[in-house]
């Protein structure tokens, strides 16, 4: 029997949008990867304080990742006189229902959606996305003739766009290279894996999937499980790519990731370093990591996603299945969001702050640096001061 504070995805779809306020209580980083249309993002811990601004003549519908965190807050709203509801199954349930509608619509209209998405990269987003992708490849010499590249797909907006960009580059066929679209399943839930595979099929990405037990390995780790998970994922991706005959793996980091990393390393790591456009692997001989989206802005990625009505998930691990407030367990995601907000504030008084941060690590004046490291060796200005 359904509780008074519950609402299903089916019921939500029947409501007129003027009759409800939809509140996504997940962390901002998860919201940025994908959300239900017309939702506002209010952290779960802020719902009570923000409720002063909620309308009393509408349903106030809360949702998290899987509907496990919003039952009590919705009930609390009801005790305060609001028509509080929580979405059963959360964002994941809405996604699955939306996918079913996509398939039905596609059958009715016989409309290959992936062709429209590819067309958008050639037309509407050619300058803001594809041209910057091609520029990074040329400027940093990321792809050479004869390469076999494993394009690593995590399921988020960035990696899915990366796969489509490589398909578009391959279509131009200016020089011979091979692609493998690699999805690693480190222990996803059935629902999360289904969403990733659905999007890959929707976008016509011919993926290769392999399974590891990384989530089981890090689930009980108390200190920095997300850092350990990321390191293990990278290792497994290198290993599988090399097994498939690849010499490079491609990741979907973008321009905003680069400038945020620069500031994070200074403010939290007491060092100056950046996210490099390419790296030689230290543990897998002959393998290289490349970041072809190095010059693409995150806002343009979001615009591409929303324009094509695509919906993704940020992270499909079991921590984020039940946790909507914190971006990850060791706090690095929280620090990254702090940096994002800091940059936005600085941008209000200096519109060039982002490009200045990006260019700063290309314009290092060694003569004015007290000390620096090169190939692991520390050099001090006193070494050559006379």
Least confident of 25-39, 167-181, 215-229, 294-308: 215-229
* Arithmetic mean of pLDDT, 37-61: 95
Contact criterion met (CB below 8 Å) for 22 and 64: no
Residue 331 pLDDT > 80, yes or no? no
Contact criterion met (CB below 8 Å) for 51 and 44: no
Residue 322 pLDDT > 70, yes or no? no
DSSP 284: S
Which tokens hold the place of 246? 């690849």
- Chain length of the chain: 386
Q: Mind listing the pLDDT tens digit for each residue in 341-356?
A: 999 999 999 999 999 9
* Arithmetic mean of pLDDT, 165-173: 93
Cα-trace Rg, the chain: 23
Q: Mind listing the pLDDT tens digit for each residue in 117-158?
A: 999 999 999 999 999 999 999 999 999 999 999 999 999 999
C-beta atoms surrounding 66 within 10 Å:
21
What is d(CA 168, CA 165) in angstroms, rounded to the nearest whole number? 5
Q: What is the pLDDT of residue 339?
A: 94
Q: Strands 371-374 and 377-380, how do they pair?
A: antiparallel
Q: Which of 256, 302, 333, 254 is nearest to 27 (CA)?
A: 333
With a pLDDT cut of 70, the percent of the chain lying above it is: 90
Q: What is the mean pLDDT of the chain?
A: 90
Q: What is the pLDDT of residue 67?
A: 93
* Arithmetic mean of pLDDT, 146-175: 95
DSSP 60: E
Residue 107 pLDDT > 70, yes or no? no
* Arithmetic mean of pLDDT, 225-252: 90
């Amino acid at each position: 029997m359904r509780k008074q504070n519950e609402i299903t995805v089916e019921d939500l779809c029947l409501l007129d949008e003027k009759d409800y306020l939809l509140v996504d209580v997940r962390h901002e980083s998860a919201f940025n990867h994908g959300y239900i249309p017309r939702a506002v993002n209010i952290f779960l811990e802020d719902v009570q304080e923000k409720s002063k601004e909620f309308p009393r003549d509408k349903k106030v519908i809360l949702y998290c990742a899987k509907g496990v965190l919003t039952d009590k807050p919705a009930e609390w709203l009801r005790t305060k006189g609001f028509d509080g509801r929580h979405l059963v199954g959360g964002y994941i349930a809405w996604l699955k229902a939306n996918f079913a509608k996509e398939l039905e619509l596609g059958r009715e209209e016989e409309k290959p959606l992936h062709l429209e998405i590819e067309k958008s990269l050639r037309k509407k987003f050619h300058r803001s996305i594809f041209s910057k992708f091609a520029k990074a490849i040329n400027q940093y010499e990321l792809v050479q003739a004869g390469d076999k590249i494993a394009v690593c797909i995590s399921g988020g907006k960035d990696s899915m766009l990366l796969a489509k960009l490589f398909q578009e580059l391959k279509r131009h066929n200016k020089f011979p290279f091979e692609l493998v679209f690699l999805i690693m399943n480190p222990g996803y839930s059935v629902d999360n894996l289904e969403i990733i595979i659905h999007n890959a099929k929707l976008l016509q990405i011919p993926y290769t999937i392999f399974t590891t037990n990384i989530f089981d390995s890090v689930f009980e780790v108390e200190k920095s499980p997300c850092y350990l998970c990321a390191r293990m994922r990278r290792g497994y991706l290198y290993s599988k790519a090399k097994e498939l005959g690849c010499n490079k793996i491609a990741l979907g980091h973008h321009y905003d990731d680069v400038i945020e990393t620069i500031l994070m390393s200074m403010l939290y790591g007491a060092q100056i370093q950046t996210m490099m456009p390419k790296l030689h692997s230290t543990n897998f001989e002959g393998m290289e990591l490349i970041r072809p989206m190095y010059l693409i802005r995150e806002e343009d990625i979001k615009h591409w996603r929303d324009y094509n009505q695509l919906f993704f998930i940020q992270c499909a691990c079991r921590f984020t299945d039940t946790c909507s407030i914190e971006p990850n367990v060791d706090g690095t995601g929280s620090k990254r969001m702090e940096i994002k907000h800091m940059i936005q504030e600085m941008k209000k008084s200096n519109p060039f702050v982002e490009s200045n941060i990006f260019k700063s690590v290309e314009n290092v004046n060694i003569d004015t640096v007290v000390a620096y490291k090169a190939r692991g060796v520390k050099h001090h200005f006193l070494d050559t001061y006379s």
